[in-house]
A and B are shown apart, each in its own frame.
Chain A
Amino acid sequence: MDGISNKSNKNEGRRGFWGSVRKLKGQWQLMLLSIPMLIYILIFNYSPMWGWITAFQDYKPKLGIAGSKFVGLKNFKWLFGRADFIQSVRNTLGMSVINLVLGTVTSILLAILLNEVRQIKFKRVVQTVTYLPHFLSMVIVVGMAQNIFASNGPLNLLLMNLHLVKEPIFFLGEGKLFWWLVGVINVWKEVGWNTIIYIAAMTAIDPSLYEAASIDGAGRFNRIRYITLPGIKSTFIILLIMNIGHLMEAGFEIQYLLGSSLTMDWSQTIDVFVLKYGISKQQYGVATAAGIFKSVVAIILLFAANTIAKKLDENTLI
C-alpha cells in the first residue's frame, strides 16, 4: 500500500512533457490497448479528409490528387448553376423539417400517453411492438410501403370504402406527396424508438410533484401541462439542437429506394445527388464539393441552434 502511494506521489512530482513521456513508459499496456484503434481511425476517418482537395480540382482518378489540375471554386459554381442541385437542397431541407416536426411531436405525444398507462404489462407490450420497426432495414420498409400505398393497396381500399376519395390516390408516383410519404413512413418506423429517451426523462420526474398537484386539484391535463412537459424540456432542447445539426441529413436510403423517375424532382436529396454524380457518373470533384457544402451548412446550423438555445435559456432565467 505504502509503496504504491509513494510511487503515485513520485509520478505526480514529475510534470511537463518529459514527465509525461516517462510516465507513458509505465503505461505500455494501456498503449497496447488503445494505439491499434487510434491508427484505425486515423486511416478510416481522418485520412479520407485529404480527399476534400478533389472538390477544388478537375479530378481524374488516373492522375490522382497529386496529378490533377486545380480549378479553384469552379466545381462549386457549377453546382449552384444546376437546377437539380438547388432542387436537392430544397428537398433535403423540406423532408428534414417535416421529419423533425412530425417525429418530435408524435414521439412526445406517444411518450405522454405511455406514461399515463398504469398497467405495466400492457405498457411493455405497446413498447415492444412499437420499437420493432426500428430494427427493420429500409429495404424491407420500402417494400412494405410499396404494398400499403399501391393504387390497389389496403390504404386506398380503406379510403374508398370510407368514401373519402373516389379514385385511388397514386401515392408512389405523385411528386408533391413524396415528402409527406417519407414523413409518415419515418414516423411509423421510429416513433416508438424515439419515445425511449422521453420516457427516461419522465421517470426522472419526482412523483411527489404529481401528488402535490393532485391534492391542489390539478386534473390530468394540467398535470401533463405543468409537470410532465416542463420535466422533459431540457431533453427536448438537447435533442432539438442535435437534430437541427442534422437537418442536412434527410437520409438517402428511403429517398433512393422509394423515389422513381416520376417523383425525382421531389425525392432527390443532396446525398442522392452525390451518389448519382460521384459514383454513377464518376464526377468526383463535383460530388465532393456537394458533400463539403452539406457539412459546412450542417456545422453552421449546429452552432446557430446552440447559440439560440443558450440565449433562450438566459431569457427564461431572467
Chain B
Amino acid sequence: MANIGSAKKTGRVRHDRAFPIFNTLFLILLMFITLYPVINTVAYSFNEGTDALRGNIGLFPRVFSTESYKSILSDSAVYQAAWISASKTVLITLLNLFWTSMLAYALSRKEYVLRKPITLLMVLTMYVNAGLIPNYLLISRTLHLSNSYLVYIIPTMFSCFNMIVIRTYIMGLPEALVESARIDGAGDIRIFWQIIFPLCKPVLATVALFVAVGSWNSWFDTYLYNGGKKELYTLQYLLKMKLATTQASANAAKATADAMKSVNLTTPVTIRCAITVIATVPILVVYPFLQKYFVTGIALGSVKE
C-alpha cells in the first residue's frame, strides 16, 4: 500500500514538473504564430518586387530592396491619405472623450430627473440598429454628408458603449467629491470639468485607445461615402484598393508575373506590404503605453453586464 502511494506521488510530481515546460513551449509557439504574419509582411515589404511574386518568403527578404518604400514615399496620394487618417483620428478621439464623458457625468447623477429615460434611450441603441441602408440614406441623402470630410467626424463622434464604461467609472468615485464641491458653490458644469474630468484619466485612456484604433482602422466609411473623392481617401482605403488589385493580379497569376518581370522593381504585393507596415507603425508605437490601461477598461465594461 505504502509503495503504491509513493509511486503515485512521484508520478504526480513528475507530471507537475513536465506541465510548466510544455506550457511554456506551447505559449512560445503561439507567440511565434501570432508574430509570423506580421514579420512576414515586413519581409515582403523589403523584398524586390518581381522576386516577391515567386512567393515562399518567410521571416527575411530574399532579395533585399527598399524600392517599394521609395515609390510610396514619392507618391503624394500616400501623404494625403496619411494626413486624412491622422487628422480624423485625433479629431474623433478628442470629440468622443469630450461628448461621451460629459453625458456620462450627467447620467451618473442620481438626483437628475431625466437620468432614467435618457439612459434607457442610450442603452437601447446598443441592441437595436436601424441597419446599413437606412443609415446610408440618412447620411448621404438627408444630411448630404457624402463627399466631405465631415462624414468621418459627425457620425462617429459619440459612442454609447464608451459612455456606459465612463459612467460606471464615475459612479465608483467617492460621492463626497461632488457634495463638497457643491457646498462650496460649484455648479455641475464646473464640477464635471474641474473635478470629475481630470479624475477619469485611466478610463479615458482606455476609451481613447479604442476610439483611436477604430477610427484609424476604418475603411468602410470612405468606401460608402467618399469613394468618389480621391483627396479624402484614408490609408486603410488605399490599402483596401491595393488588396483588390493584388487579388486581381493573383487571379491572373502567372501571365502578369511574366509581364511584370521585365518592367518593374515593385509589384502590387510589395507596395501593399509596405503601406501595411506604414499603417501599422502608429498602432505599434501607441499600444505599449496604453496597454496597462485597457485591461482595467475591459474589466470596467464587464461590470455593467
Contacts and interface: CB of A to CB of B under 8 A. Distances in A.
B16 interface: yes
B220 interface: yes
Interface size class of B (residues with CB under 8 A): 35 or more
A30 interface: yes
Contacts of B228: none
Nearest to B248: A260
A117 B27 contact: yes
A45 interface: yes
A148 B133 contact: no
A242 B225 CA distance: 31
Nearest to A242: B305
B275 to A, nearest CB: 9
Nearest to B100: A37
Interface in A268-303: 271, 274-275, 278-279, 284, 287-288, 291-292, 294-295, 299, 302
A27 B299 CA distance: 32
Interface string A127-166: 0111111011111101111111011111001000000000
A110 B30 contact: yes
A48 B142 CA distance: 10
Interface in A173-201: 188, 192, 196-197, 200
Nearest to B32: A129
A10 interface: no
Interface string B40-56: 11001000000000111
B168 to A, nearest CB: 14
B40 A136 contact: no
A49 B58 contact: no
Interface string A20-32: 1001100101111
A110 B34 CA distance: 13
B23 A113 contact: yes
A288 B134 contact: yes
B82 to A, nearest CB: 14
Given A197-B298, A219-B16, A278-B132, A147 B103 contact: no
B135 A1 contact: no
A67 interface: no
A32 B189 contact: yes
Contacts, number: 246
Nearest to A109: B26
B37 A144 contact: yes
B105 A33 contact: yes
Nearest to B160: A41
A159 B286 CA distance: 36
Given A197-B298, A219-B15, A44 B138 contact: yes
Interface string A240-265: 00100000000001000100100000
A36 interface: yes
A48 B138 contact: yes
Interface stretch (A50-58, A91-99, A310-318): A50-58
A34 interface: yes
A130 B134 contact: no
A82 to B, nearest CB: 17
Given A30-B109, A116-B23, A143-B41, A188 B133 contact: no
B222 to A, nearest CB: 11
Nearest to B107: A34
Contacts of A29: 187-189
A23 B138 CA distance: 36
B255 interface: no
B28 to A, nearest CB: 8
Contacts of B236: 137, 139-140
Contacts of A30: 106, 109, 112, 114, 188
A34 B243 CA distance: 43
Interface of B: 12, 15-16, 19-20, 23-24, 26-27, 30-31, 33-38, 40-41, 44, 54-58, 99, 102-103, 105-107, 109, 111-114, 118, 121-122, 125, 127-138, 141, 155, 158, 160, 163, 182-183, 187-189, 192, 213, 216-220, 224, 236, 239-240, 242-243, 246-247, 250-251, 269, 272-273, 276, 279-280, 283, 287-288, 291, 295, 298-299, 302, 305
